[in-house]
Each structure stands twice: as C-alpha cells, then as structure tokens.
C-alpha cells in the first residue's frame, strides 16, 4: 500500500483541525462501502462504535484465503494446511506486535470481545473465585462486561461490586480506591465507554489494583481502533477486543492474557486443538495459545484481522489517534450549535463516540429521521442499560467515528439533526 | 367501514405523499395530536417493552366490539400506533383475530413492523390479535 500521510510532521500534538494528520480522501477510497448511497443520498456512516467498515485489503484477504489456500489449521501435513496454518499464526504475530504482547502465545483468537470476557469470567471463576470473593466492574460497562461476571458470581457465590460514576460520565476514583480489598479477586473495566465515549484512567485503575495483587481485565473494544494500546506498558493482565470494530471481519476477536495467568487457569471449552492427549481416563491439555482455542477457529477471520491490523499500522495508530481527537473536538463544537442539544456524558477525555439528546425528543424518533436523510447513527441504550438508568433517560443518540470520518460527515449530521428536530418539535 | 376498507383508505391517503418527509410529518402529527390512552391504563401490565421505544395497550369490550387505546413514548411510534388502533379498534374479536394487516407494508413503512426494529409495534399488533382471539374464545364458551 502506498503512504496515506500528508506531508505534515509531528502529528501527535496538532490540535488544529485545519491540519489533518491523515489523507482522509485517500483512506475513504480504500473502503468500498463508503461509496454506497442510501435512499439515493451519499452515506454518512457514524455508527462505528457498533462496527467499522472494511478496507479493500481485508476483503481481498478473505477472498484469497477461500480461493487459494482454504484448509484446516494445525492438523494436516499437506501443503494447503501448512500455508493456512502459517497465515493464521502470522496473523497472531501481527496482532501480538500491534498490542506489544511479550509473546504471541499470549494472544488467543476468540469470537470477539464478548467471547473473550466470557472466557475469562468462566475460567477465573472456576480457577480462583471462592464464596464471598468480590469482582469489580464499573457503572459504565457494556452488558458484555457485566453479565458474564454476574453469571460467574452467582455460580461461585461471589459478589459483584460497581465503581460509580459522576454526572459527567467519569468514574469516581475515590470510590474505586475504597472498593479495593483483599476480598476482591479481579477488576474488569472498559478502557473507553461505548455509550459515553469516556476514556477511563486505566493506568491508575491497574496500578491501584496491582498494589493489592488484584489482576485487571480491560474491555478494549472501543479503544483499540482509536489509540495506541501497549499491554506491557499498561501492565494489564487480560484484555479483550473485537476484530470487526478494528476494520476486520465479524466473528473474530482477541483475548490477550499474561502467560503467568493463562498457564495457571483451567481450560474453557473442550475439543479439538486444545488437547495434548485424550484417553477416557484423563485428558491433558495443549500449551498456549491452543489451550484456549478449541475446535476449528475462524481461520479466514483471523487472517483478515491480521490484514486489518497491518492496514492500521501502515496508516499509524498514533496518526489515527491525533486525527480522531481533532475530529471529536470538531464534532462536539458543531453539535453544541444545535438548539436544545445536550450531551450525555461530558468527560474531559473522550474518544470515538458522542452521545446526546435534543430537547425532549425521543432518540428513536431522531434516529428514524436521521436515517431517512442518509445518516447512520445509533439510538437506544447501547447495551448499557445501567448507564441510561443513571441518567434517567430511555436511551441516547450516539454518533461514533472512525479514521475515515471527515468534517463533511459531521456537518451533514448537524444539518440532518436540525431538520429532524424542526419536524419533531 | 370494515378493517380492509379502513386500510384501503389509508393507502389511498398516503399515495398522495411522494416525499418521505410528507409521510413522516403526517405520522408525527398523528403522534402529537391524539390522547390515545387514559393515564390510569399506562401501567406495567399494559406495557409492551421494545428495545428502542415502548408501547402501552389497553383493551375494553363494548357491545361485543373491542376498543383499543394505546400510547408510545416515541412520537413516530405513537403515530403508527394510532394508525393501527384506528384500523382495528371498534371491530369484533373475530374480525380482529382474522384481520390481515397490509397497509403498513403498502404505505412503505414495512420496516417499522420488522422484529429487529424493536420499537414495540409488532408486539403490539400481535397482542391486539391475541386479545381478539382470547375474547372470541371467551364468547364461545
């Protein structure tokens, strides 16, 4: 791929939207779906927190896999199986590099963030949790980072504790400090809130937990596509993210876990690939990463996720971060001009998404009329009902961004909101 | 008017609206206008919870006919609710149980009745027909 940078240097600290870090027009051409129209209008796609569109290189990788080397991995001695296995392990290597894992065996392919969190909740519950133990999540979690822990806590007789948040949609860190005790066995929090866009102070969360010898899991589903994430620098114990929010295919995701933990925790699903030997008397389990990859994995998805990560790396996640930060600031400023608009969540540090309401207009009505104008946003509770309950609202309208979002998308969103609001008032 | 005559009339009304905006303005107006339900019936028992918006539905049997009153927290859903109530209310349980609702499809708003829409409308239609069936069975006993 040719370079997509403009000639600007030192992009990491450029606050001025007039100097984009990326050549957005060029990037947009890499995404076939962005060229589509809806209701005869050019698509404004602002539902990137739900899923991102895919660059051509990812689509080509998927097609090439099925056309040229489709075969099962880690099993066959034949040529195709070798090629597929190598491509699959190459993808793991790319992803390990992307998050700076100490070794690629710490990178497990899963179905996605939800699957990764369920995996850890399950094996951590069976391996570590005793009745009366405590698990900490936060008030702004996606249901995927609540329900697996609830199921486990119920099963093990443990207690789920919640870090509260304030009116701005920021975690109350003093309360977190107060919750930490010897009873707490694991903390699992979102790096970035999917419903509010809040970037949580995860370094501090991890440091405080580690001071009590408590491991931390990060739900990085809304962080990994927006900012550099280095698992060693964070010193995080477990981390989950999804491929499809990172420009890759659906059905593939990642669980990162420190070897010291993954080696000692029990296996999750049983089946092919995760065993060393099987007899009816006793089965011994395979080594990492295969211990946690039972059954035929999503081979094409994993390889295509590798291609997506490579694409992101070529553009540079630091550049994406710098550009998106400017874009989010621009969006907040433009949305502020809409009469009657109030932001749901006003965190000091925001990434990727903006939630809002206009007057007393129901988010469903607003979303409906935005859709008719070719603007794809998300309405509803965003799988974070406790967040909506906290703000006493039925849901929000959420605009969420990706590296290909441009100022024109934001401008058309604002025009569409004004038109919809005038019809609904 | 029969249920189908009412549906055909709505289809004819909507056929004069070319633009999506006209249709929606009409539906929004319906949603704003009608006091559709006595507040005392906006109870949890009458609540049909959708993921996106929710609907309340109350039923009375008057002179052998079912009278529906309903409401929604979203204006567009409420407008569509009032269209459905207008078509089905005041008919016998048997007529309601056997009714085939085609006008929403014909006026180009089919997607609102999609199960994935989760606005409570499809569940409301199902509930109305269940009431029709239940009262029909009851009257035969």
Tell me which residues of chain B, numbers 121 to 140, contact chain A at a CB-CB cutoff of 8 Å: none
Every domain of chain A and the residues it spans: 11-30+316-424, 59-313
Query: Is A424 an interface residue toward B (CB < 8 Å)?
Result: yes
Q: Does A289 sit behind a cis peptide bond, omega within 30 degrees of 0 on the bond before it? A: yes
Residue B141 is predicted with a pLDDT of: 81
The CATH number fitting domain A11-30+316-424, selected from 1.10.10.10, 3.40.640.10, 3.30.420.40, 3.90.1150.10 = 3.90.1150.10
In chain B, the domains with their CATH numbers are 3-140 (3.90.1010.10)
> Helices (H), strands (E): how many in chain A?
14, 17
Residue A409 is predicted with a pLDDT of: 98
Q: Considering only the beta carbons, identify the residue of B24, B73, B75 that sits closest to A372.
A: B24
DSSP A39: T
SS3 at position A130 = coil
Rounded percentage of chain B residues whose pLDDT exceeds 90: 48
| Candidates A143, A358, A359, A365, partner chain B, best to mutate (most B CBs within 10 A) | A365
Tell me what the mean pLDDT of segment B97-108 comes to.
90
* Structure ipTM: 0.86
Does the beta-carbon distance from A364 to B20 stay under 8 Å?
no
Q: Please state at what angle helix A299-315 crosses helix A79-98, rounded to 10 degrees.
A: 40
Query: Is A364 an interface residue toward B (CB < 8 Å)?
Result: yes
Does the beta-carbon distance from B24 to A381 stay under 8 Å?
no
Low-confidence ranges of chain A (pLDDT < 50): 1-19
Does the beta-carbon distance from A424 to B53 stay under 8 Å?
no
Tens of pLDDT, residues A108-123: 999 999 999 999 999 9
Residue B104 is predicted with a pLDDT of: 87
Tracing tokens 């008032």 back to the chain, one arrives at A425
DSSP A267: P
Q: Measured between alpha carbons, how far is A28 from A9 in angstroms, rounded to an integer?
A: 21
Query: Is A395 an interface residue toward B (CB < 8 Å)?
Result: yes
**Element holding A247 (H helix, E strand):** none
Residue A20 is predicted with a pLDDT of: 54
Residue A408 is predicted with a pLDDT of: 97
Are domains A11-30+316-424 and A59-313 of this chain identical in fold?
no
The model carries a pTM of 0.91
Of B125 and A266, which is predicted with more confidence?
Answer: A266
**Among candidate residues A139, A57, A181, A154, the one with its CA nearest the CA of residue A384:** A139
Residue B115's pLDDT band (cuts 50, 70, 90): low
Does the beta-carbon distance from A365 to B51 stay under 8 Å?
no
Q: Measured between alpha carbons, how far is A355 from A397 in angstroms, rounded to an integer?
A: 6
Catalytic site includes residue A383: yes
Which one of A43, A173, A332, A383 is the catalytic residue?
A383
Residues of chain B positioned with their CB less than 8 A from the CB of A357: none
Residues of chain A positioned with their CB less than 8 A from the CB of B76: 364-365, 368-369
Cα-to-chain-centroid distance, residue A11: 24
Residue B118 is predicted with a pLDDT of: 62
Query: Is A143 an interface residue toward B (CB < 8 Å)?
Result: no
Residue B113 is predicted with a pLDDT of: 64
- Which CATH architecture is the domain A59-313 placed in? 3-Layer(aba) Sandwich (3.40)
Does the beta-carbon distance from B75 to A381 stay under 8 Å?
no
SS3 at position A355 = strand
| Candidates B75, B81, B121, partner chain A, best to mutate (most A CBs within 10 A) | B75
Contact criterion met (CB below 8 Å) for A137 and A121: no
Does the beta-carbon distance from A372 to B75 stay under 8 Å?
no
């Amino acid at each position: 791929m040719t370079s997509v940078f403009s000639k600007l240097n030192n992009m990491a600290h450029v606050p001025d939207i007039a100097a984009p870090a990326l050549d957005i027009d060029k990037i947009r051409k890499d995404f076939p779906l962005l060229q589509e129209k809806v209701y005869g209008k050019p698509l404004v796609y602002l539902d990137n927190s739900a899923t991102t569109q895919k660059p051509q290189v990812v689509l080509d990788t998927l097609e090439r896999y099925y056309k040229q080397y489709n075969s099962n991995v880690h099993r066959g001695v034949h040529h195709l199986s070798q090629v597929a296995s190598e491509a699959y392990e190459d993808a793991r290597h790319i992803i390990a590099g992307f998050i700076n894992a100490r070794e690629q065996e710490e990178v497990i392919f899963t179905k996605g963030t939800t699957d990764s969190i369920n995996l850890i909740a399950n094996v951590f519950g069976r391996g570590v949790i005793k009745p009366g133990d405590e698990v900490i999540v936060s008030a702004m979690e996606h249901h995927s980072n609540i329900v697996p822990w609830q199921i486990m806590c119920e099963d093990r007789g443990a207690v789920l504790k919640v870090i509260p948040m304030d009116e701005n949609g920021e975690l109350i860190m003093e309360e977190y400090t107060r919750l930490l005790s010897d009873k707490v066995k694991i903390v699992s929090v979102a790096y970035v809130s999917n419903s509010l866009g809040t970037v949580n102070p995860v370094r501090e969360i991890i440091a405080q937990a580690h001071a009590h010898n408590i491991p931390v899991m990060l739900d990085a589903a809304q962080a990994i596509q927006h900012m550099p994430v280095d698992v060693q620098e964070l010193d995080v114990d477990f981390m989950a993210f999804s491929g499809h929010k990172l420009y890759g295919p659906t059905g593939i995701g990642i669980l990162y876990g420190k070897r010291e933990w993954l080696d000692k925790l029990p296996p999750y699903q049983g089946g092919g690939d995760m065993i060393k030997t099987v007899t009816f008397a006793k089965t011994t389990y395979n080594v990492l990463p295969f211990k946690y990859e039972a059954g035929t994995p999503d081979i094409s998805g994993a390889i295509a996720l590798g291609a997506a990560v490579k694409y992101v790396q070529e553009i540079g996640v630091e550049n994406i971060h710098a550009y998106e930060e400017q874009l989010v600031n621009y969006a907040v400023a433009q949305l502020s001009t809409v009469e009657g608009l109030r932001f749901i969540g006003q965190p000091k540090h925001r990434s990727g998404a903006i939630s809002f309401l206009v007057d007393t207009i129901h988010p469903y009505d607003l979303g409906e009329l935005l859709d008719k104008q070719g603007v794809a946003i998300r309405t509803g509770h965003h799988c974070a009902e406790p967040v909506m309950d906290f703000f006493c609202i039925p849901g929000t309208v959420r605009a969420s961004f990706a590296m290909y979002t441009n100022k024109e998308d934001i401008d058309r969103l604002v025009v569409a909101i004004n038109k919809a609001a005038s019809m609904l008032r | 008017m029969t249920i189908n005559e009412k549906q055909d009339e709505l289809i004819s009304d909507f056929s004069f609206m070319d633009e999506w905006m006209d249709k929606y303005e009409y539906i929004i107006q319906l949603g704003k206008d009608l006091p559709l339900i006595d507040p005392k019936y906006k109870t949890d028992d009458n609540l049909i919870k959708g993921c996106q918006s929710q609907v309340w539905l109350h039923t009375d049997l008057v002179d052998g006919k079912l009278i529906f009153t309903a409401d929604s927290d979203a204006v567009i859903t409420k407008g569509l609710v009032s269209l459905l109530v207008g078509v089905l209310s005041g008919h016998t349980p048997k007529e309601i149980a056997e009714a085939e609702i085609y006008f929403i499809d014909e006026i180009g708003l089919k997607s609102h009745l999609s199960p994935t829409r989760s606005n409570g409308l499809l569940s409301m239609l199902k509930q109305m027909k269940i009431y029709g069936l239940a009262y029909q069975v009851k009257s035969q006993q």
